[in-house]
A and B are shown apart, each in its own frame.
Chain A
């Protein structure tokens, strides 16, 4: 993209159009109420399902003593995975000064914040005694992977929230000055968030410095969060989990899931928010290239994860692999590998496929595949422990999620969508000042926005 600085008048025009386009969805827009109603309904269904689980115990799920971690834990891993995209886009690509992420970075951060915030809850929904959650803080043991997980999930959520809010400061200042006709509380939020930003040199310096510190910090935190999540499994002695590549295997898989989620979200905002001029074919092309890159890395780890034990065929590994390749989980396994990984890589090699609509459809497959991939990581291993499964009822030897369980799985997704919807409803979906800057609007022109009093 060219870096020609526009004159004040031209810049003002670009900026005004940008404001108009990005502020429009903050006011009432078509279909929003229907969407809100749908979310509220689903939330109520979830609440009812969870109530049943609280009342009757985890026995209402299909989990039993052998598969004692079921789809809830797979769901948790999925949430953490998708949340990592915030770090990849904002921090890794941001620190490399990659220009095309400017209109995407906030979408990625909203995904990161909503998924990470809900991930913690997913674990609570899986607990046998959620009423004893405070025990983790009262009696927390540093040696437990769960303790590490709680620590890093909270840290990652906090830093992601800051990475969402700090670039929001100048935007909040603009909104405070130019938005009208919104409820008082909303205007109050903008005023608070603007932190009295006036575009002085020091303020910009502080802003950039703060961002830089956060962007650097979040990289190790993000690696930690998903590596620790993988250690929940890899720290055990079970076949299929007892693997030394689980950390990078999980982290690389996370970027695949997250990239797909961003592409889907981009498509939605482009259509629904009318942002064709900002989320262009160019941006989709770039994001899809990123998806291919992350998928190739993930494919590499998949090959390691299956080929190495498959070559040796240790007794337990052999049973595990047989179950995945040709056994009980065979169909799911190959659907996930082919439609969630291999075909997307091949298809996205074609330029036409990297256009918004086809790539969004591909991304849906990738995201679905990502969820079931986690299911395949969590469940099959538990069905073949070291010692045989004997003298227990039939239901202990299989696992198919129950109806209640499915709603408690959907619940967190609804919660994440609610958080995302609220954030995308009260904040512009792109950082106005950064996008304006990348479109060549001069700082002086942007600064005018902070000074102008409300007319």
Chain B
């Protein structure tokens, strides 16, 4: 993992051939790749790497196999997408660490996520909450994606196996199968699930697109949608949309099996267990037994003071529990 990162960092400023530049430019289209390939590991033994130059001036190394995937003219068939979407990415156990001391409610995570998954403004795969635990404790911002629980209450109750847990730890929703009963919404204690109550937001070309369960696009009326840990990005070796978009270094993302997480902003890669140990990492509502794969670092030594709409404390609407003794 770290070896790979170093290579990326080394390549960062190396000029690249014009041919490579064009290929990458065509293939990626967007300059979103950045240094996200740091987490692209596990493939390196088998295939050769190609260095690619992204639109925003970074170099990344992708292996040929994935380059082909990017360059494919023919998109994968629905069956193929569904099959690989259910299997997950071999050998991985994805984890996220959210550092609350760094969050200042910039909401770049929310908007990047909504853009990627064609969501309406009120549909949040990731939401940033204003939190306060008790009267005398300080308020803080808390981004909340799906916890991708290892004991997920949502997949347990699904009557048709439309929502499922993959071997790489991700909980996905198959909107080709979902019947829209919403018992998963009732079951989820983290309010992580969103429903397409009416015709979803369609972006040009969505109607012709083959449904990709790892991106959950195109969205479908009458079905559930939720945070996917950006399974589509992980497949091509990039960090999740939210993590890459954060300007403040809130998100760490990586593979528990490798014990490494990469920061979405700084691209620094460090040991997952050390990060949790040194910063008193915790999970949300562990008493519910859901075993989240999303960890939090406490909001201590905050980089930014809490402020929302000019207020530095929470009112009853945001924190009703503080007002019912």
Contact = CB atoms under 8 A, between A and B. Distances in A.
Interface of A: 56-60, 63-66, 68-69, 123, 126-130, 132-133, 135-136, 138-141, 143-147, 150, 232-233, 235-238, 241, 315-316, 318-319, 322, 382, 384-393, 396
Given A58-B195, A65-B197, A143-B156, 7 more contacts: A58-B222, A135-B160, A135-B177, A139-B177, A141-B159, A144-B160, A241-B186
A128 B178 contact: yes
Nearest to A127: B180
B198 A57 contact: yes
Nearest to B153: A237
Contacts of B51: none
Interface string B133-166: 0000000000010000000010011111110000
A391 B195 contact: no
B191 to A, nearest CB: 5
Interface in B172-205: 177-183, 185-187, 189-191, 193-199
B158 A57 contact: no
A144 B127 contact: no
B130 interface: yes
27 contacts: A57-B196, A63-B197, A65-B197, A66-B191, A68-B186, A126-B181, A128-B179, A128-B221, A128-B223, A129-B179, A135-B162, A139-B160, A144-B156, A235-B157, A236-B189, A237-B187, A241-B186, A318-B324, A319-B321, A384-B320, A385-B191, A386-B285, A388-B130, A390-B130, A391-B110, A391-B127, A392-B124
Contact of A146 (B123, B159, B288, B318): B159
Contacts of B124: 391-392
Contacts of A136: 159-160, 179
A236 B156 CA distance: 10
Interface residues of B, number: 50
A236 B184 CA distance: 9
Q: Which of B157, B161, B178, B290 has the most CB of A within 10 A?
A: B157
B112 interface: no
Closest 8 CB pairs of A and B: A128-B180, A128-B222, A59-B198, A59-B197, A146-B159, A144-B159, A57-B198, A68-B185
Contacts of B189: 236-238, 385-387
Contacts of B191: 65-66, 385-387, 389
Interface in B278-325: 284-285, 288, 290, 318-321, 324
A236 B190 CA distance: 12
A32 B144 CA distance: 59
A133 B178 CA distance: 10
B28 interface: no
B128 interface: yes
Contacts of B162: 135, 139
B131 interface: yes
Contact of A127 (B157, B181, B290): B181
A386 B199 CA distance: 28
Q: Which of B110, B158, B197, B223 has the most CB of A within 10 A?
A: B197
Contacts of B160: 132, 135-136, 138-141, 144
A315 B123 CA distance: 27
A393 B122 contact: yes
B309 to A, nearest CB: 12
A145 B183 contact: yes
B43 interface: no
A396 B122 contact: yes
A396 B197 CA distance: 12
A390 B197 contact: no
A59 B187 CA distance: 21
Contacts of A58: 180, 195, 197-198, 222
Contact of A382 (B110, B183, B186, B193): B186
A130 to B, nearest CB: 8
Q: Which of A60, A65, A139, A147 has the most CB of B within 10 A?
A: A65
Contacts of B127: 390-391
Nearest to A63: B197
B159 A69 contact: no
Contact of A387 (B129, B179, B195): B129
Contact of B177 (A60, A69, A132, A150): A132
Given A59-B198, A68-B195, A315-B321, A386 B190 contact: yes
A390 B129 contact: yes
A390 B318 contact: yes
Contacts of A389: 191
Given A63-B197, A235-B187, A129 B153 contact: no
A68 to B, nearest CB: 4
Q: Which of A126, A389, A391 has the most CB of B within 10 A?
A: A391
B286 to A, nearest CB: 12
A44 B197 CA distance: 24
A164 to B, nearest CB: 29
Contacts of A57: 196-199, 221-222
B322 to A, nearest CB: 10
B178 A129 contact: yes
A418 B254 CA distance: 60
B317 to A, nearest CB: 9
Contacts of B193: 65
A393 B123 CA distance: 10
Nearest to A318: B324
A141 B158 contact: yes
A393 B197 CA distance: 14
A66 B123 CA distance: 12
A388 B221 contact: no
A69 B186 contact: yes
A147 B159 contact: yes
B190 A387 contact: yes
Nearest to B107: A391
A60 B189 CA distance: 26
Contacts of B161: 139, 141
A34 to B, nearest CB: 38
Q: Which of A56, A322, A390 has the most CB of B within 10 A?
A: A390
Contacts of B221: 57, 128
B324 A237 contact: no
A261 B69 CA distance: 64
Interface string B200-236: 0000000000000000000001110000000000000
Contacts of A150: 159
A64 to B, nearest CB: 7
Contacts of A385: 189, 191
Nearest to B123: A65
A233 to B, nearest CB: 7
Nearest to A143: B156
Nearest to A232: B183
Given A319-B324, A390-B127, A144 B158 contact: yes
Contacts of A130: 179
B258 to A, nearest CB: 30
Nearest to B198: A59
A65 B181 CA distance: 12
